[in-house]
A and B are shown apart, each in its own frame.
Chain A
């Protein structure tokens, strides 16, 4: 991986709330290469969704704010420093995003075709420097159908005229993907895109996303809480805990040889069909409070290997083997 497409460096983000300041991201480093699916996995409240939204500047600010020194480098620019309007011009055509709830993420009062055509018009508008001609509405319609066909919708003419509430959950998520892909982004951020779906539909969508990767060469940052889904789709995985990346590795290596005690605990806590006799292990305690995070390594209160230094000093992410990084004093 010569030069990453997206490079997130030392991103720190806080929310001000009634109860206090929520330290959502506490210095995150992560990169996504060209043609790569990076899985970002963690439990609820670890900051994975906030990170996805932060890349596009979609966290409501205020109350959220990026701290100084946060860098989100994309196509040679630091997105953290752009004005809201400049950022809007990066969204869609540069980086697009799909969300967990297809039912609420599509605008209920516009047809699917309308919403997809917006993305197409946007792309054409931004490319117009080279090409002066404006496409006719029938050309745009054709591109809408093309986008729907891309997500394996068999009768795009009919679906384009439908309103979101007339489609099933799986179809809605396909339409969301079609909408995001219609702008031909270089990076797609997918925030739990299959979590709200049934397992057979999830399988369909995951397969679709894999195929799309190969067909249109888009990179994906895939955010999920489900290690099974990660194993299914990611090339590289980053594990997040309490606003930090605690481990990062190629997918095979992470599952075969997890290094961080949290990753190990998480993997051991899952019941597996292939091994039902094994008693699942449980991590003690619960996810730390983001307002008063523990000192030192955030995981130390739940860690069986915790030592004195873990309580005072936060470990840095360091590369142990090629591509395998971990933030833990054990190594």
Chain B
């Protein structure tokens, strides 16, 4: 019993390698995650400038050799702030996706497997959550519990888990109706054994693939939340917030807002490309072609 079959994994790898775009995406993702780890471990030690220190002699400088991304209205080096902000986005994405995966996923899996009232109830509840546009519900929750990084993650969680519940339930249902489940019953296995041997391994794979693809959505929505002031609060170098602070200076100092926005774009795109490739690679129907 294993999650990954070697041949399967090899084919997946071959496909991913051949798909240059998702390979590029994967490379950027890897670089970004490495950066996150380094920054988290070393703090501002390796950065060219202190991201928090203001320097009123050097405000609104355009990008140059000393300041790759220029400086902001308070004279802070934007490049250093963008780098220092990298771990914040990663933190939001991983916390939200992993908790949604664990909570929503297990709820959905059990509901799908058990069926009946439990399933019906969960479906109706997720119906309600999914009726809201994700960003709007997150906004409402965030404003109610107050702005801030932790609170914006809580707000995103409220919005995010139902998707995972839905997907897990769908997978569980498909597995429940499969013949190998019937065979497992016929073999006289206990329910616990069935869940451990068959249900979990078969549900986890599609959920993990979806989660990879979903990271980009979380980062995007999270950055909008912080753009409208609900995320990390100044002076923390959060990318969405930096865009917001810079937009008043757009006509004179475009780099203040456009460059952090581009950073978000690049990371989101990279996760998307990588996730897309991963999904195609794990879907034998698409791969065979």
A/B touching: CB–CB < 8 A:
yes
Which A residues touch B14, using CB under 8 A? 18
Which A residues touch B287, using CB under 8 A? 18
**CB of B110 closer than 8 Å to a CB of A:** no
Residues 265 to 287 of chain B near chain A (Cβ within 8 Å): 287
Shortest C-beta distance, A320 to chain B (Å), equals 41
Which A residues touch B11, using CB under 8 A? 18
Which B residues touch A17, using CB under 8 A? 288-289
Which B residues touch A18, using CB under 8 A? 11, 14-15, 287-289
Q: Compute how far the CA of A18 lies from the CA of B281 in the bound complex, rounded to whole angstroms.
A: 12
Q: Compute how far the CA of A18 lies from the CA of B19 in the bound complex, rounded to whole angstroms.
A: 13
Q: Mark A1-44, 1 if CB is under 8 A from B, else 0.
A: 00000000000000001100000000000000000000000000
Shortest C-beta distance, B237 to chain A (Å), equals 45
**CB of A296 closer than 8 Å to a CB of B:** no
**CB of A228 closer than 8 Å to a CB of B:** no
Which B residues touch A63, using CB under 8 A? 289
Classify the secondary structure of A's interface with B.
Answer: loop
Classify the secondary structure of B's interface with A.
Answer: helix
Q: Compute how far the CA of A201 lies from the CA of B15 in the bound complex, rounded to whole angstroms.
A: 45
Shortest C-beta distance, A178 to chain B (Å), equals 33
Q: Mark A47-75, 1 if CB is under 8 A from B, else 0.
A: 00000000000000001000000000000
Shortest C-beta distance, A59 to chain B (Å), equals 14
Q: Compute how far the CA of A17 lies from the CA of B11 in the bound complex, rounded to whole angstroms.
A: 12
Which chain A residue shows the least CB distance to B11?
A: A18
Q: Compute how far the CA of A322 lies from the CA of B287 in the bound complex, rounded to whole angstroms.
A: 48
Which A residues touch B288, using CB under 8 A? 17-18
Shortest C-beta distance, B15 to chain A (Å), equals 7
Q: Compute how far the CA of A113 lies from the CA of B111 in the bound complex, rounded to whole angstroms.
A: 44
Which chain B residue shows the least CB distance to A17?
A: B288
Which chain A residue shows the least CB distance to B14?
A: A18
Q: Compute how far the CA of A18 lies from the CA of B11 in the bound complex, rounded to whole angstroms.
A: 9
Shortest C-beta distance, B19 to chain A (Å), equals 12
Q: Compute how far the CA of A172 lies from the CA of B14 in the bound complex, rounded to whole angstroms.
A: 43
Which chain A residue shows the least CB distance to B287?
A: A18
Shortest C-beta distance, B1 to chain A (Å), equals 26
Which A residues touch B15, using CB under 8 A? 18
Q: Compute how far the CA of A39 lies from the CA of B289 in the bound complex, rounded to whole angstroms.
A: 30
Which chain B residue shows the least CB distance to A60?
A: B289
Q: Mark B136-176, 1 if CB is under 8 A from A, else 0.
A: 00000000000000000000000000000000000000000
Q: Compute how far the CA of A97 lies from the CA of B15 in the bound complex, rounded to whole angstroms.
A: 35
Which chain B residue shows the least CB distance to A62?
A: B289
Q: Compute how far the CA of A63 lies from the CA of B287 in the bound complex, rounded to whole angstroms.
A: 13
Q: Compute how far the CA of A63 lies from the CA of B288 in the bound complex, rounded to whole angstroms.
A: 11
Which chain B residue shows the least CB distance to A16?
A: B289
Residues 278 to 310 of chain A near chain B (Cβ within 8 Å): none
Q: Compute how far the CA of A17 lies from the CA of B14 in the bound complex, rounded to whole angstroms.
A: 13
Shortest C-beta distance, B254 to chain A (Å), equals 46
Shortest C-beta distance, A180 to chain B (Å), equals 29
Residues 216 to 249 of chain B near chain A (Cβ within 8 Å): none
Q: Mark A162-190, 1 if CB is under 8 A from B, else 0.
A: 00000000000000000000000000000
Residues 10 to 31 of chain B near chain A (Cβ within 8 Å): 11, 14-15
Q: Compute how far the CA of A63 lies from the CA of B15 in the bound complex, rounded to whole angstroms.
A: 17
Q: Compute how far the CA of A149 lies from the CA of B120 in the bound complex, rounded to whole angstroms.
A: 48
Identify 9 residue pairs between A and B in the complex whose beta-carbon atoms are under 8 Å apart, listed by A's number.
A17-B288, A17-B289, A18-B11, A18-B14, A18-B15, A18-B287, A18-B288, A18-B289, A63-B289
Query: Which residue numbers of A lie inside 8 Å of B, CB to CB?
Result: 17-18, 63
Query: Which residue numbers of B lie inside 8 Å of A, CB to CB?
Result: 11, 14-15, 287-289
Given contacts A18-B11, A18-B14, 7 further A-B contacts (CB under 8 A): A17-B288, A17-B289, A18-B15, A18-B287, A18-B288, A18-B289, A63-B289
Which 6 pairs across A and B sit closest by C-beta, in order of nearness? A18-B287, A18-B288, A17-B288, A63-B289, A18-B11, A18-B15
